[in-house]
């Protein structure tokens, strides 16, 4: 995306480094945004043009066990449902033991009855991603746990609209 989360992280945590991964056309915009930052921030943010739905390519360009955190903001709801297990598997592979994955998106409650704004977003998003999964925390947690992630937690980020699911990579997969 824009790199906003990475920029804020680099501003607030002096030794943090970040890699923004997105589609090639989006990365071009990200580079322009990052260039507007002070050198001390911009030198710690790199970019990588890669599709979330191209799992084979990830192994070529994303080093295994090289990240402490993998943040996926508005990704899970934007790709076909059958691509989610591979996406989360790639995140697992990229994380160091004990690393954390953060899935941020518009989640409808597990019972499907709200929140209204998240449900409306999901309905509108069907035109962009007809093969997507209506995101509910329970289903995303199932996929994460099948991929080896543990201790998932669901937290509100933008109350009534978005949530995050935070899960941890254990020392061994399984």
Residue 83, Cα to own-chain centre: how many angstroms?
13
The DSSP secondary structure of 1-27, one letter per residue, reads ---HHHHHHHHHSTT--EEEEE-HHHH
pTM assigned to the model: 0.91
Q: What pLDDT score was predicted for residue 173?
A: 53
Which two three-digit tokens encode residue 7?
A: 């920029």
For residues 87 and 55, the answer to whether their CB atoms sit within 8 Å is: yes
Specify burial of residue 61 (Cβ count, 10 A radius: 0-12, 13-18, 19+).
exposed
Question: Would you write out the chain's pLDDT as a tens digit for each of its 174 residues?
Answer: 789 999 999 999 999 999 999 988 999 999 999 999 999 999 999 999 988 887 667 888 888 999 999 999 989 888 888 999 999 999 999 999 999 999 999 998 898 888 888 888 877 777 776 777 778 899 999 999 999 999 999 999 998 889 999 999 976 554
- The predicted pLDDT at position 2 comes to 87
Strands 67-73, 18-22: pairing kind: unpaired
CA distance 102 to 79: 17
Q: Tokens in use for 73?
A: 């903001």
**Side-chain-side CA neighbours of residue 117 (13 Å):** 8
């Amino acid at each position: 995306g824009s790199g906003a989360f990475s920029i804020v992280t680099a501003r607030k945590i002096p030794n943090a480094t970040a890699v923004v991964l997105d589609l090639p056309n989006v990365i071009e915009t990200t580079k322009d945004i990052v260039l507007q930052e002070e050198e001390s921030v911009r030198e710690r943010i790199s970019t990588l043009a890669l599709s979330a739905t191209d799992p084979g390519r990830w192994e070529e360009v994303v080093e295994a066990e090289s990240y402490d955190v993998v943040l996926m903001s508005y990704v899970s709801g934007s790709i076909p449902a059958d691509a989610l297990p591979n996406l989360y598997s790639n995140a697992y592979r990229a994380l160091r033991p004990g690393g954390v994955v953060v899935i941020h998106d518009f989640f409808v409650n597990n019972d499907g009855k709200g929140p209204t704004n998240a449900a409306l977003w999901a309905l509108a998003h069907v035109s962009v991603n007809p093969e997507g999964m209506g995101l509910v925390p329970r289903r995303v947690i199932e996929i994460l746990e099948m991929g080896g992630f543990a201790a998932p937690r669901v937290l509100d980020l933008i109350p009534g609209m978005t949530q995050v699911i935070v899960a941890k990579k254990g020392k061994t997969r399984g």
